[in-house]
Structure 1
């Protein structure tokens, strides 16, 4: 078993890639209004919304437990509609030495394809793969899509 890992998942959505990307890059604080059962809050700690180097603090519920994460926006790619978050504090770092999340929205037919990547380094070999967190991200994408599609 290895301590380094990478999980990926794709989610087809109806919303345009540009709109989905805009929510994560420039308006992540709106996600708690879209799906309050998953995301209780999102606050800006440093920088400005939608800029590289900004630090965002998330309150969320994962596996039935209230958790927190402080993430730094490492990269924003307007052309490819991709955003990279690096976890710098919070519950995930109790089991993982490093944790990076990439979300990308690509136009596909009438809607988009959202691609999630989670790259991590476990603190110990017996730490489980973050499969339930990847499923959380997939469900979050569907909730955001439902909200965005209802507004269209």
Structure 2
């Protein structure tokens, strides 16, 4: 029996969705200087920066632990400021059978909203829902937004 799940988080943004999308797609190496307590480094292993099919590695801290995530950019949609990362290596996919993160932006009631969707498969019921990872991504989006709206 598959234990597939999806969690969606919403973060109100003061900057535009395009700004956040462009950082995630074209300037991910800058995130380490914007949020050094969360992201330590970004490396492009194969492909082109911000291109579908590219393989990347993030070094980051989550819940006090230094972790690594190897990901493939699965999809990009400029019109919805959307980028999809599929984890293929690192500590998180040692816990979850599958793990995909989608970042996109939408306008709701006249406000710009950053939306993070995590789709995952747990190997058994002992493995928790990745709510702490969602909290991490929501906080990271807020830090990226704050960085781009400072006077």
Query: Could you tell me the TM-score, scaled by structure 1's length?
Result: 0.94
Deviation at 1:106, TM superposition (A): 2.2
Q: Distance in 2 between matches of 1:110 and 1:48?
A: 34
- CA distance 1:13–1:95, change in 2 (3 Å): same
Q: Which runs of 5+ in 1 are unaligned?
A: none
**Runs of 4 or more consecutive aligned structure 1 residues displaced over 6 Å after TM superposition:** none
Cα deviation per residue 1:31-73 (whole Å; 9 max; x = unaligned)? 1110000001111111111100011100010011100000100
**Counterpart secondary structure, 2:97:** strand
Contact 1:82–1:102 (CA<8 Å) still a contact in 2?
yes
Once the 2 structures are TM-superposed, how far is the Cα of residue 124 of structure 1 from its aligned partner? 2.1
CA deviation after TM superposition for structure 1 residue 111, in Å:
5.6
Instruction: Give the superposition deviation at 1:104.
Output: 0.3
Distance 1:26 1:127, change over 3 A: same
- CA deviation string 1:57-90 (max 9, x = no partner): 0001001110000010000000111000000000
TM norm structure 2 = 0.94
Q: What's 1:48 paired with?
A: 48
Aligned partner of residue 42 in structure 1, secondary structure: strand
Q: Which runs of 5 or more residues in structure 2 are unaligned?
A: none
Question: Is contact 2:2–2:123 with CA below 8 Å preserved after alignment?
Answer: no
1:115 aligns with 2:115: yes
